[in-house]
Chains A and B, each alone.
Chain A
Amino acid sequence: MLLAIAAFTGLVSCNDDFLDLEPKGSVTEASAFATFETCTDYSLNLYNVFNGPNVNAAAVYFQGPTVNYSSGLGSSQRDIWSGLLTQYTNGYSTIPNMYAAQTVTIPTTSAAYSYPYQMIRTANILLEHLNDGDLNDAQRKHLEAVARFFRAYCHYALLLNFGDCIYVDKVLGENSEELMGSRSSRLFVADQIYKELQWCESNIQDDLAEPNTINSDVVKAFMSRFCLFEGTWRKYHNVAESGEYVSGTQLLQTCVAVSKDLAAKYPTLYTGDNNDKHPGKGWGQMWTTENLGKVPSVLLYVKHVEDKKMHRLGHYEHIASACLEMPQSTVDLYLTVDGLPIHNANVKTYDYNGLTKTYTESATPYDYANADSYKTFRKRDPRLWQMVTPPYHVINNVGTNGWVPDESNDGIYSEFIHQFAPRGNKKTDASGNPYWDSPNFNVAYHQVETHKSLPSTNWAGNILPGVPHTQMSDNANKYTNGKIGYYGGKGFQRGKSSYFVWKHVANWDRQDPTFTADISDKPVFKMEEVLLNYAEAAFELNQFNQSIADVTINRLRDRAEVGRMNVAAIDENFDPDRDKTVAPVLWEIRRERLIELMGESFSFDDVRRWKKGDWFVNKHHYGAWVNSDNLDAVVSRTGGQTGVMNNASHLEASPAEASAQGGGHLYYYLDPKKAGKGWLDKYYLMPIPTEELLLNPNLQQQDAWK
């Protein structure tokens, strides 16, 4: 028997060919990096760092986990964290922002920590294989620069969130010592990023770069961003520096240098196409244009092509899950169209004549911060209108999609309807009366040529008859006797503050209920940001003056059709609402940055590097103003009686209090300070996920989080 076993064993094991099987039809690591083309095909993986929130609908507002935070792709998560925007949800008398509510906990795992390392690995694999194939020197240099750009970008993402971090510059294995390493100082990491980017800048081969891929201008734009961030962080967080590494001042100088180069190379900003008639359309169309490749100030963008690669950002801003709104405190940051803060002594207020469609200076000035929506929006920086749906009321007369303007009360409800294009196609009803019919955007692209128009609709063309719309208002439309109605909203759009964000909505785009389907391109690196970096870095180096203002801020203002910045006019009293610890001109530069980059998630990182978490995050979030004669139009459905705020106590007003103060702001959330909560200084850096601490005993938690 043993013999038999031995015989079988011999038979079985000697003939190995039968058991040697190779996978058919797939590329292996040994064969993949053969040519410039295949290496380039591989390098496309790296660009995924810009993709995330844009293609994943669920991520649009509710996640912002990865390095995409500042890719400018409309993930507004970090603007919610900074307190500039609010994700309105049911939860009366809560504090929705976890940083204001102090409900931030240490996560077990975090994509913000792990994703950058995945992409760093992807880059390092390419760097390791560049000598495998048949590439010439220029080709090799170019791809090396691309890989190093992304490696720097990902380390920057770690630096930005966590400060000190483990630096990885090679492909790691299961036993590499980096896995058990401790964190390097931010000085070292920033120095590495800085050197890496300098190398990229001088070695990248622009003639090998296809349009809309990494080239020397993109490298500079990123240097501008990184240098401003780290330079100002060092300054405001009093980071002790060492001569060994690049200093904060050097970083700011580099920021100015590269930004200046780019500002000279790209003098033109985008003013949009002429299908839209509202002012400042260039700012809005940056987010709703089909081909950003033709837009002069865009250096890199996420390209979307019908049926190939699409997103849902526009769709998401008018379905029920969308609840991104702007609190009154952020609305108040917007300048008037004259370029003045709303509480500046010289600010003007205006009356609107609906019959002549003209504005005259108001005989009885009002306060933009405590006035009804029409007044709040009137003659303001048009970027506010592109960001937040302005007020209007129309009559829904045919089906769910047909409407005519509500011309009652001398046409006051059409003030902004006239600023924008009317939504839909003009038709005639059975009795021969004209009306507008809003097309179903589910069906196709370019049914309408305009980007933004009123009334607001959802993807099926169902119209929202009125703004302000709030869940707290009565069902009945009280648009009578000159009153402004507070409309109950529609299932697809139902605000709580009446300031509903509609930044990505484009009429011509197709918004599909179930499939990702918008095709507007989205910028990643653009001159608008570079100019703001330039202005701010120049100020921090004491170089800012009117001529720099003219090539930076005033270019943005001209394009937005807002009054120019006159540096000399900005004194202590220019904006009485200013954070008094910030220099008046710097305050205006920062304001411009917040307004220009609204909704791109820059603000959380800005607020952190300025060390101004408490100023911004602790703001009480409340909604639009309701006039006293209109209080009955707002019936609280939230727990109290009035649904408006007592200005003094920042709690819900009783009916008597509300009428005594002549109305009030829509009240929904708790004031963080009132509730004994608010920003904590430990939030300046994110905690290291506990899982990582468990896996690596040498990895230390942030001191403030211990």
Chain B
Amino acid sequence: MRAILTGFLMLFVAAVSAQDITVRGSVKDAAGDPAIGATIRVQGSSTAGAVTDVNGNFTITCSPRATLDVAYIGYETQSVAVNGRNNITVSLSQLTTDLNEVVVVGYGTQKKVNLSGAVSTVKMEDVLGDRPQPNVAAALQGAIPGLFIGSGSNSPGQTDKTIQIRGTASFSGSNNTVSGISPLILIDNVPGDIDALNPEDIESVTVLKDASSSAIYGARAAAGVVLITTKRPKQAQRVKVNYSGDVGFVNAVSRTKQVSTEDYIQVYKDAFNTNQYTGAQNQNLDDWLSYLQQYKAGTLAGVTDNGIYVAPDGLRYYLGGGDNNGRMLETGTSWNHNLSMSGATDAIRFRMSANSYNEDGPLYSKKDTYDRKSINGVISADLAKWFTQELDIYYTQQNREFLQDETGALFGQRNVDFLPDGRDPAGYLIRTPRNIIDVSNVRTTLIETPRIFTKSIFRPFKGLEAIFEYTYQRKGTDFNYYSGKYTMTDIQLNVLKGPDHDYSIARRFYESRKAINAYATYRFEPWKEHHFSVMGGYNQEFWSYSYYNTRAEDQAIMDIPSMSGAQGTVTTSDVFQEYALRSGFFRFNYDYAGKYLLEVSGRYDGSSKFPKDSRFGFFPSFSVAWNVTNENFMKGTSSWLTQLKPRFSYGSIGNQTSVGYYDYISSMALNTQANVWLSGNANDYVTVIGRPGIVSDKFTWETITTLNVGLDFALFNNRITGSFEYFVRKTKDILSQSVALPAVLGDDAPMQNVGAMKTNGWEFNINYRNHVGPDFSYRIGFNIWDYQSKITKLNFNEEKSLNYLYEGKKAGEIWGYETTGFYTVDDFSDLSTWTLKDGVVKVDGVSPRPGDYKFANLRDGDVDADDVNRINTGKNTANNPGDRKVIGNTTPRFQYGINFGANYKGIDLNVMLQGVAKRDYFANGPYFYTLAAGDGIWMPVFEGTTDYWKPLSQDASSPDYYVAANPGAKLPRIYGNVGNGGYNRNTNTKMLQSAAYMRVKNITLSYTFPKNLLQKVFISNLRAYVSAENPFTFTSLPDGVDPETLSWSYPMYRTISFGLNITL
């Protein structure tokens, strides 16, 4: 109705524009100073406007009945009716949303200005905008400093990403690697599945990074907390209906690339010193080259459609093919639809939403798809002035189909490029990636996640709010697969048939969680400016998991697979797990006049995962902060320094994430399918009762202590905002299986509290926003963070063996040799027995040849007295590492995110980048080295691996015998099969790679249609957008080796989408 009225008003305004007047005005900011650069716009018009000058003055021509909107960065936009006046003075008031913004914290909310812990928060709307990213974790990548989102193994729908806060935290359960701990991910205060959420249903995401802010969540929150708050309607508003939808086109970011067949043949000749293609049928390599030439010239007759030529002697020559990884990929499509309705009266508020997302991934065919449907309804009713009841029901169904590769070769390293798709002349399908996809069946995973959340809020008297929450959620997974059978042929023309027995698998997993939270907050102000708030609460959770698996072989009718139709072996298995938690928690806040802030919180936690005597732990923490800018003496700087808040926090939390469900009970497995001993009478599996492990019932909680120093700042009326954090996180009593015990024990050592580690890091983020003229505004945000971890204490490995962690070890360090060049013929005194000259560095266990890497002799005497000028691994300890040293580190350093936005007259551009500035990586596979150390005859040659050392002659009588043809080569000499290939693949400086990268995560361009046009058709908002997810990646790694996964597997993909967002 109002829209219609406004429309009429607009028409009227247009009709009377002939009588426009000139209005002069001045705009003042909160301090009474001129507001420079404020924009003035006539309401309802998209263009007409003015900007204040250095004195805060403006002039505008408009109707005497017009209303002017005055906007200024950091201030609330004010509407002023002209009412025929020629002179107007506008005093702006500061925007409250920035500093008075309320942030969700543990069991409550806090004004951002009053936060004293390390808390980052983002509004999903800001992160997502029009970006059609359907996965919450993927959307958050690069958005929050300290929050790491790993691509894991990519999967359709971008699900199952790893999440970590502030990097490695422990080495639980391991004696040779450190690991991150997953943070506690809470959806409305209860752990939940992030993949089941539609980002559109999320209001905000808060990350609690230090102990002081996460301690309230106790033993599961040791590595931080991600708090996800779903959308719910707030104050009274009219009913709004929103639809957004987009269609996207999906393709792989990159793929591995091989050299041409001609180049491959040359490498093959060099490697095997042969003119036969011994990997297959002993084809003659020169003939092959000549057939290739003729085929390309079009002069070769009798070649099959897919480029196979059967020569007169019956040998097959592959002349077509090429880019087999390209042939396995295609452009998939994705569809996304969101519909939401919300509205509220004074007493009842509701929101309903539905989402449907489906995607056909980048692999050829429709065998990599993901489909998610979710529906959410929230209702909140004020039943009495002192009582509000909320009910939130969320249901999600995820359906994933993914091909099961029975050949194991889909992403293999042996798929030689020249093999074509289709069939070979004998009629068999050739084993190429695309053909594998064709014959593979899909496994389907259906995940249903219903969740019921109720919340009762009592406000019996002023200052007290008591809340009772009950959550029930369930995750039911149905997994089904039927293998079928395939027949294929490989490069040796062997006919491969698989699997041995066709089999069906049905698995059902059920995971359920019941949680109760009861907590109350009392706020009071006993004396003026002394603000107190006390919160106390109780939490209990019960989680249970059951797993049933049935596998049945040999279907009677292969077209109709079923469990009951199986003729062969049927096996079943099951697993049951449970845990329970019961805890009390509290938080105490005090502030004086918003200047001095204090928060103390803690939790008393009990967990069923621990033996009775060490089951409970108490974990307190505190933080303080000082709002310097609220001090009177800071008045003088208030024109530019809007906020300055140093913070300090300290606390420790127990960690139960690294503990198994029943670690303190000695159990013995029943094995029925292992390679058990079969007596003469047995023709089937027999049951073996497995050996019990050594169990210690003395272990206790790991404890993670975090010290955090932070500084929040804002400049120039919040035009620049930012914060800096420095943290030291110490994990002690880390639970692990130590290697302290000699092999004589006969078993792995039991879990014990074995050591401590320390992680130091910092985070920095800064945001800047401004505008040029009334129509162009822009913002840029940058965040960067870094950490490094070190083992500080260990009760085992006192000798610092490099096989295990050792005290003083920096996490991620790479030990390797320093490459000094190649061995040359001048290094040998006898070329027939390959005896090295005196003084030339020797290698233990290896007889070097010209063209092998030569490593620097860094230390002598590590093995024995004769260890002089010999390359070896010494005692394999940090103190006696032989000739190795730390040559790099795999820890991702300086992870950063950049986002940029600009708006011009309804056109919006948003760009998001994310990357790692420094990271080392060493790999010796065929993407990096020529062929492989063994079985090279079947290896393809990948681009970038052809610069290898070559001899001028292999003829012993030639003066050029093993003299280097290319002494400056990057890669060592290639050996056909074994030789010194393994030696050259030792970790070394020359082949250390950089895994640093920068990825443009998203570029979105949108256009908002002018309101005055829309109002005529009763639409309140309409936007159209185009968005590119993962459009560009900058890395020095070979094609196909993604810097996030460091392998060639289901590829990271990019999506280009086109969408529309409409609000009624």
A and B physically associate: yes
Give the B-binding residues of A (Cβ under 8 A).
Answer: 1, 4-5, 8-9, 11-13, 15-16, 18-30, 32, 38, 41-42, 44-45, 47-48, 50-51, 55, 89-91, 93-95, 98, 101, 103-106, 108-109, 113-114, 117-122, 124-125, 166, 168, 172-174, 176, 178-181, 210-213, 293, 302-305, 307-309, 320-321, 399-400, 440, 442-443, 458-460, 462, 471, 475, 488-492, 494, 512-515, 517, 637-641, 651-652, 670, 674-676, 689-692, 694-696, 699
A460: chain B residues within 8 A (beta carbon): 492-496
Q: Tell me whether B669 and A26 are in contact (CB under 8 A).
A: yes
Q: Tell me whether B682 and A303 are in contact (CB under 8 A).
A: yes
Smallest CB-CB separation from B685: which chain A residue?
Answer: A308
Q: Tell me whether B273 and A28 are in contact (CB under 8 A).
A: no
A293: chain B residues within 8 A (beta carbon): 680
B284: chain A residues within 8 A (beta carbon): 475
Contact of B612 with A by CB under 8 A: yes
Contact of B279 with A by CB under 8 A: yes
- In the assembled complex, how far is the CB of residue A261 from the closest CB belonging to chain B, in whole angstroms? 22
Contact of B978 with A by CB under 8 A: yes
- In the assembled complex, how far is the CB of residue B313 from the closest CB belonging to chain A, in whole angstroms? 11
Cα-based distance from A109 to B661 in the complex (angstroms)? 31
- In the assembled complex, how far is the CB of residue B869 from the closest CB belonging to chain A, in whole angstroms? 17
Most chain A beta-carbon neighbours within 10 Å: one of B668, B739, B803, B875: B668
15 contacts between A and B (CB under 8 A): A5-B586, A19-B582, A28-B692, A45-B688, A91-B975, A91-B979, A91-B980, A168-B746, A309-B676, A442-B497, A460-B492, A460-B493, A475-B275, A512-B500, A692-B742
Q: Tell me whether B668 and A24 are in contact (CB under 8 A).
A: no
Most chain A beta-carbon neighbours within 10 Å: one of B492, B745, B978: B745
Smallest CB-CB separation from A654: which chain B residue?
Answer: B957
Smallest CB-CB separation from B962: which chain A residue?
Answer: A639
Contact of B691 with A by CB under 8 A: yes
Contact of B841 with A by CB under 8 A: no
Q: Tell me whether B678 and A305 are in contact (CB under 8 A).
A: yes
Count A-B contacts at CB 8 Å.
Answer: 325
- In the assembled complex, how far is the CB of residue A313 from the closest CB belonging to chain B, in whole angstroms? 14
A489: chain B residues within 8 A (beta carbon): 278
B501: chain A residues within 8 A (beta carbon): 307
Q: Beyond A213-B680, A694-B877: 5 further Cβ-contacts under 8 Å?
A: A21-B578, A50-B677, A89-B979, A93-B834, A174-B745
- In the assembled complex, how far is the CB of residue A182 from the closest CB belonging to chain B, in whole angstroms? 11
Point out the residue from A13, A90, A471 that lies within 8 Å of B975, measured CB to CB: A90
Given contacts A90-B977, A211-B681, contact A670 B833 (CB under 8 A): yes
Cα-based distance from A106 to B677 in the complex (angstroms)? 33
Q: Tell me whether A108 and B876 are in contact (CB under 8 A).
A: yes
Point out the residue from B741, B801, B845 that lies within 8 Å of A105, measured CB to CB: B845
B747: chain A residues within 8 A (beta carbon): 118, 121
Cα-based distance from A401 to B957 in the complex (angstroms)? 42
Contact of B498 with A by CB under 8 A: yes
- In the assembled complex, how far is the CB of residue B307 from the closest CB belonging to chain A, in whole angstroms? 20
- In the assembled complex, how far is the CB of residue B301 from the closest CB belonging to chain A, in whole angstroms? 22
Point out the residue from B574, B741, B934 that lies within 8 Å of A25, measured CB to CB: B574
Cα-based distance from A10 to B586 in the complex (angstroms)? 14
A47: chain B residues within 8 A (beta carbon): 676-677
Q: Tell me whether B978 and A91 are in contact (CB under 8 A).
A: yes
Q: Tell me whether B496 and A691 are in contact (CB under 8 A).
A: no
Cα-based distance from A471 to B273 in the complex (angstroms)? 10
Contact of B1030 with A by CB under 8 A: no
Contact of B826 with A by CB under 8 A: no
Smallest CB-CB separation from B540: which chain A residue?
Answer: A18
Point out the residue from B492, B588, B687 that lies within 8 Å of A491, measured CB to CB: B492
Q: Tell me whether A11 and B584 are in contact (CB under 8 A).
A: yes
Q: Tell me whether A26 and B694 are in contact (CB under 8 A).
A: no
Smallest CB-CB separation from A154: which chain B residue?
Answer: B746
Smallest CB-CB separation from B489: which chain A residue?
Answer: A460
Point out the residue from B667, B797, B976 that lies within 8 Å of A90, measured CB to CB: B976
Cα-based distance from A38 to B687 in the complex (angstroms)? 9
Point out the residue from B278, B608, B692, B955 that lies within 8 Å of A19, measured CB to CB: B608
Q: Tell me whether B678 and A94 are in contact (CB under 8 A).
A: no
Q: Tell me whether B278 and A491 are in contact (CB under 8 A).
A: yes
A113: chain B residues within 8 A (beta carbon): 743
B274: chain A residues within 8 A (beta carbon): 471, 637
Given contacts A90-B978, A103-B844, A122-B691, contact A29 B668 (CB under 8 A): yes
Contact of B935 with A by CB under 8 A: yes
Cα-based distance from A514 to B488 in the complex (angstroms)? 13
Cα-based distance from A350 to B269 in the complex (angstroms)? 42
Interface residues of B in 844-874 (CB under 8 A from A): 844-847, 863, 872
Contact of B665 with A by CB under 8 A: yes
Most chain A beta-carbon neighbours within 10 Å: one of B585, B691, B740, B742: B742
| B interface size (C-beta, 8 A) | 124
Contact of B1059 with A by CB under 8 A: no
- In the assembled complex, how far is the CB of residue A627 from the closest CB belonging to chain B, in whole angstroms? 23
- In the assembled complex, how far is the CB of residue A173 from the closest CB belonging to chain B, in whole angstroms? 7
Cα-based distance from A689 to B875 in the complex (angstroms)? 10
B744: chain A residues within 8 A (beta carbon): 117, 166, 168, 172, 178-179, 181, 696
Most chain A beta-carbon neighbours within 10 Å: one of B661, B938, B956: B956
B574: chain A residues within 8 A (beta carbon): 25
Q: Tell me whether B684 and A108 are in contact (CB under 8 A).
A: no
Most chain A beta-carbon neighbours within 10 Å: one of B607, B679, B799, B872: B679
Smallest CB-CB separation from A210: which chain B residue?
Answer: B679
Q: Tell me whether A462 and B680 are in contact (CB under 8 A).
A: no
Contact of B683 with A by CB under 8 A: yes
Q: Tell me whether B612 and A42 are in contact (CB under 8 A).
A: no
B679: chain A residues within 8 A (beta carbon): 210-213, 303
Cα-based distance from A179 to B584 in the complex (angstroms)? 44
Given contacts A27-B670, A125-B691, A178-B744, contact A41 B686 (CB under 8 A): yes
Q: Tell me whether B977 and A20 are in contact (CB under 8 A).
A: no
Contact of B675 with A by CB under 8 A: yes
Contact of B689 with A by CB under 8 A: yes
Contact of B538 with A by CB under 8 A: yes
B576: chain A residues within 8 A (beta carbon): 23-25
Point out the residue from A459, A515, A694 that lies within 8 Å of B801, measured CB to CB: A694
Smallest CB-CB separation from A117: which chain B residue?
Answer: B746
Point out the residue from B575, B584, B615, B685 that lies within 8 Å of A8, measured CB to CB: B584
Smallest CB-CB separation from B272: which chain A residue?
Answer: A637
- In the assembled complex, how far is the CB of residue B934 from the closest CB belonging to chain A, in whole angstroms? 8
Per-position contact with A for B495-509: 1 when CB-CB < 8 Å, else 0?
111111100000000
Q: Tell me whether A21 and B616 are in contact (CB under 8 A).
A: no
- In the assembled complex, how far is the CB of residue A135 from the closest CB belonging to chain B, in whole angstroms? 15
Point out the residue from A98, A121, A440 that lies within 8 Å of B745, measured CB to CB: A121
Contact of B248 with A by CB under 8 A: no
Q: Tell me whether A179 and B847 are in contact (CB under 8 A).
A: no
Which 10 residue pairs are nearest across A and B when measured between Cβ atoms?
A: A211-B680, A121-B746, A8-B584, A460-B494, A47-B677, A90-B977, A114-B743, A212-B680, A694-B799, A103-B845
Cα-based distance from A515 to B501 in the complex (angstroms)? 11
Given contacts A12-B538, A105-B872, A308-B684, contact A675 B692 (CB under 8 A): no
- In the assembled complex, how far is the CB of residue A24 from the closest CB belonging to chain B, in whole angstroms? 4
Contact of B636 with A by CB under 8 A: no
Given contacts A20-B608, A45-B690, contact A309 B743 (CB under 8 A): no
Contact of B651 with A by CB under 8 A: no
B588: chain A residues within 8 A (beta carbon): 1
Cα-based distance from A608 to B847 in the complex (angstroms)? 26
Per-position contact with A for B684-718: 1 when CB-CB < 8 Å, else 0?
11111111101010000000000000000000000
Q: Tell me whether A459 and B494 are in contact (CB under 8 A).
A: yes
Cα-based distance from A205 to B345 in the complex (angstroms)? 87
Most chain B beta-carbon neighbours within 10 Å: one of A178, A309, A515: A309
Cα-based distance from A458 to B495 in the complex (angstroms)? 11
- In the assembled complex, how far is the CB of residue A426 from the closest CB belonging to chain B, in whole angstroms? 21
Contact of B384 with A by CB under 8 A: no
Contact of B904 with A by CB under 8 A: no
Given contacts A105-B872, A121-B747, contact A308 B678 (CB under 8 A): yes
Given contacts A213-B679, A308-B685, contact A458 B494 (CB under 8 A): yes
